Amino acid sequence: MDGARHPHRQPKRQLDSTILHFVSTDCFYASVFENETPALRSLPLAVQQKQIVVTCNYEARRRGLHKLQLIKDAKKTCPDVVIVLGEDLTRFRNASKELFNLLRSFSWNSRCERLGFDEVFMDVSDIVEHNLGLLNAHDLANSYFCLSKNDPTVGFTFDASELAGHTYPQPPNKELDASQDSLSLRLRLASHLARYLREQLESEKGYTCAVGISTNKLLAKLVGNLHKPNDQTTLLPPYSSEEDLDNVTSFMDGHEVGKIPGIGFKIANKLRAHVLQRPAEFDTALVYGGTKEDLLVADARRHPGMGPDMLEQLLSGPGTPHGIGPKIWGLLNGCDDAEVGQAREVPKQISIEDSYLRLDTLGEVIRELRMLAKSLLARLHTDLLDNDEETPAPDDVVPGPTTVPRRWLAYPKTIRLSTRPRPPDGSRNRSFARISRSAPMPNFVFSLKENKDTVSERLVTETLVPLFHKLHPEKSGWNLSLMNVAATNMADAASEKGGVGRDIGKMFKRQDDVLKQWRVEDTDVMEVEEKMEEVKAVLPAIPNGDKGGSEDLPTLSQEAKHSVNDQWESEDEDMADGDLFCCDQCGASMPSFAMVAHSRWHAQS
Ligand code: DGT
Ligand code: MG
C-alpha cells in the first residue's frame, strides 16, 4: 500500500455477526390502508398529514406522485388520486407492532430492534451459525434450514448452493457465489432466511418490504436500499483487502456522504466544505434538502490527510461526542460496531401532543388537555396492558365464565406536561423551546375498574391543570403553539421485586402497595428542551378542529434521523437532538427534509 496516498489503512472490519435489516416496509402508511381495504391496492392512493402527502402507494408513484408532496400538487398531477387521512397514528403503530412481533418471534437471541415504524434490524448470527453446522458440504442443493433451537422439524428446505435474491455487486460473480468460506456461507444462509421471513410477512400480514443482508447495521441498511420494493440484497464478500479492492469499500465509495446513516446534515456539510474547499450550495428544490455539491465517500476517504485524526480535528467541538473522528472514519469505511438492541416489551415513554395556531385561554387549554389525556390513557391501555385475555385464571380465583383481568406490563412513574410558548412579540418565527413540568403519575390512572372517561377527567383536573398553572402562573398573556403530555420513567412490572408481573392474582392484590413505592419527587425544575421537531411543527399550523391530539409523528426513516447523536433511535424514545437546518427567511431551525415544505409555506404566506 502506498503510505503517502493512503495514510490510513482500512479500520478492521468485524465480520462475526450476520445482520438482516428489514429496510422500510414498502409505502408503509399506504400499505396499512390497503390491508384494511384491499380494493385500494389497484388505485393511486396517497396518505395525507396536514397539507402533505406523507406517502403514496406504487400505483400513485407510477403516476408521478411522490412522498412529501403538497396535496394540491398531487391532485394536479393525478386528479383521480384517492386521499386518505393519516393524522391518527394508531393504525400505523399497531401494524408496526404486528410486523415487529412476527419478526421477533423468529429471533433466538431477542436481538431484534425497531427503527421508526417500518424498519427492523435482526441479529441472526446465532440462527445462521447453528444452520452452518447443519450444512452438508456434499449436498448443498438439498439443505434444510432449521428455525427452532428445540425442534429440528421446524424449518424449510432450500438450495444452499445458491444465494437468494440480489447481490452487490451484481450480477453475482459465480466464483464468489460458489465459494464455501464461512462468511460466504453465512451470508448465503441469511439470504434464504431473509427470503423466508419476507414470505411470512407477506402471507401472514400482507406486507412486502425490502431487506439488506450483511455483517453490521450500517451495511445491511444501505445495501437493502438497492432493490426496492419487495426484494432483498446481500453484500457479497470479500469484505476486506489491502488495496481497497473489496466490495465493502467499493459499495461505500459510491454513496454521497450525506446518505450514510450516522453522518448527519452538519457533519456532511463540514466534510463537503473541507474536501470541496468551498461551502456547499443548497438546492432547496430537492426533496430532503439535497445539495448540488455531492461529495462521494470515495473522494472524502481519499482526500489528502484524511483519516481519524484529521476528522477528529475537523468535526470535534462543543456538543460532539468524544471520538467522533474514528467513528466517522469507521462509517466512511463501512465499519459500524453498534449492536442490534434487545427487543423491549414496552416503550420507554409514551407521549401525545398537538400543535395549535393559537391557544391562549384557559378554557381552550382545558379542552385540549382533555383530548390529550384521553388519547394518552388509550395509549397506556394499548401499549402497557397485557392483551393476552386468554391467560388462564390463577387457582385462587373462583372458576366460572369470568374473564381474567388484564395486567399492567409496566407503570410510568412520572407524568410530564410540556408546552411551547410563542414568542411574546407575536412574530411568526417559531421557537423550538419547550418548557415542561413533571409530577408523579397518580395511582388512579392504573385502575381498571373505573371508567376511562372518569379517569382521564381526574387526570386533567387533579394533575394536568395544576401542572399547567405551575408552568404558566400568569392568568393570561401566553399563547401556546404546542402541548405535549407524556408518561415517562417506565418501571417494568415483571422485574419489580417479587416478580409481580408473573402472577396476575397476586399482582392485583399488591398493585396498590407496589405503586406506593413509586412516589417520585416533583423535580420542580423548569427544563428547556431544544428537541428536534418533526415535520408537522414546521408546516403551517392548522387549527385542530374537534379531534383527538395527534401523536408524535415519526421522522423520515432514511435520512434525517441519523446523526451521530441520534443513532438507531427507536420511535418510542425521546427524539434526540438532530442536525437542524436554519431557514434564511425566518431563522427557524428544522430537520433538512422539512425545508422544502417550509419554503413553500413562505412562498404562500
Ligand atoms: P418506501 O419505503 O419508499 O416504499 O415508502 P414509505 O412510505 O415506507 O416511506 P418511509 O419508509 O420513508 O417512511 C415510513 C412511513 O413513515 C411512511 O409510510 C410515512 C411516514 N413518513 C415518512 N416520512 C415522513 C415525514 O417526513 N413526515 C411524516 N409525518 N411522516 C413520514
Ligand atoms: Mg418504507
Q: Which three cell numbers stand for residue 321?
A: 461526542
The CATH code of the domain that includes 122 is: 3.30.70.270
Full residue range of the structural domain in which residue 561 is found:
525-604
Q: Does the C-beta of 49 come closer than 6 Å to ligand 1?
A: yes
How far apart, in whole angstroms, are the C-alpha atoms of residue 326 and residue 331?
Answer: 9
Confirm or reject: Cβ of 539 under 6 Å from ligand 1.
no
Look up the CATH number of the domain holding residue 463: 3.30.1490.100
DSSP 8-state code for residue 600 = H
Among candidate residues 332, 359, 382, the one where a domain is terminated:
332
Closest listed ligand to the CA of 554: 1
Q: Residue 90: inside a domain, yes or no?
A: no
Domain boundary among 332, 361, 385: 332
CA dihedral 353, 354, 358, 359 (to 10 degrees): -40
**Nearest ligand to the C-alpha atom of residue 28:** 1
pLDDT for position 406: 78
Phi, psi of 399 (to 5 degrees): -70, 155
Decide whether any atom of ligand 1 lies within 6 Å of the 68 Cβ: yes
To test the pocket of ligand 1, the residue of 29, 34, 532, 562 to mutate (highest count of ligand atoms within 8 Å of its CB) is 29
* Residue 598 placed within a domain: yes
| Mutation test residue for ligand 1: of 556, 558, 559, the one with most atoms within 8 Å of CB | 556
Atom of ligand 1 nearest to the CA of 536: 29
Q: Are residues 314 and 259 in the same domain?
A: yes
Question: Does residue 553 line the site of ligand 1, with CB under 6 A?
Answer: yes
**In the prediction, which pLDDT does 565 show?**
23
Ligand 1 site, residue 554, Cβ cutoff 6 A: yes
Domain shared by 148 and 287, yes or no: yes
Are residues 359 and 311 part of one domain? no
Beta-ladder partners of 305: none
Closest CA to 92 of 550, 536, 479, 521: 550
Does some domain include residue 78? no
410-421 and 350-355 strand pairing:
unpaired
Q: Do the domain assignments include residue 289?
A: yes
- Size (the chain), residues: 605
Determine which helix (DSSP H) or strand (DSSP E) holds 484, and give its type and residue range: strand 480-492
Residues 470 and 372 in one domain: yes
Cβ–ligand 1 distance for 229 under 6 Å, the answer: yes
The reply to whether 458 and 385 lie within a common domain is: yes
Which residues does 281 contact at the CB level (< 8 Å), separation at least 6?
291, 292, 293
Angle, vertex CA 115, rays to CA 110 and CA 120, nearest 5: 50
How many structural domains compose the chain? 3
Q: How many CB atoms lie within 10 A of CB 137?
A: 8
pLDDT for 12 equals 77
- Are 442 and 464 spatial neighbours (Cβ–Cβ below 8 Å)? no
Give yes or no for a contact between 430 and 481, defined as CB atoms under 8 angstroms apart. Answer: yes
In whole angstroms, give the CA distance from residue 550 to residue 374.
11
What spacing in Å lies between the alpha carbon of 89 and ligand 1's midpoint? Answer: 12
Within 254-347, residue ranges assigned H as helices are: 265-276, 297-302, 308-315, 324-332
Cell for 338? 453498534
Query: Is residue 495 domain-shared with residue 544, that is, in the same domain?
Result: no
One domain, residues 153 and 270 = yes
372 and 267 within one domain: no
Q: Is residue 448 in a domain? A: yes
Question: Is 233:212 a contact under the CB 8 Å cutoff?
Answer: yes
CA of 24 to the centre of ligand 2 (A): 3
Residue 9 has what pLDDT? 66
Residue 184 lies inside a defined structural domain of this protein: yes
Residue 381: closest CA among 28, 89, 90? 90
The pLDDT, as a whole number, for residue 235 is 96
Specify whether 424 is located in the same domain as 548. no
State the DSSP code for 99: H
Backbone phi and psi for residue 561, each to the nearest 5 degrees, phi listed first: -90, 0
Q: Which of 332, 362, 377 corresponds to the end of one domain?
A: 332
| pLDDT of res. 432 | 63
Residue to substitute in 34, 54, 119, 207 for testing ligand 1 pocket (most ligand atoms within 8 angstroms of CB): 54
CA geometry: angle at 199 spanning 197 and 203, to 5°?
A: 120
353 Cβ inside 6 Å of ligand 1: no
Do 250 and 148 belong together in one domain?
yes
236 and 128 within one domain: yes
322-359 residue pLDDT tens: 899 999 999 999 999 999 998 876 778 899 998 888 89
Contact 316, 324 (CB under 8 A): yes
Cα 88 to ligand 2 centre (Å) = 18
Kindly report the protein residue whose alpha carbon is nearest to atom 30 of ligand 1: 54
Q: Are residues 122 and 182 in the same domain?
A: yes
What are the residue ranges in the chain where pLDDT is below 50? 1-5, 285-289, 389-402, 496-584, 587, 589-593, 605
Residue 57 included in any domain: no
Query: Would you say residue 206 lies in a domain?
Result: yes
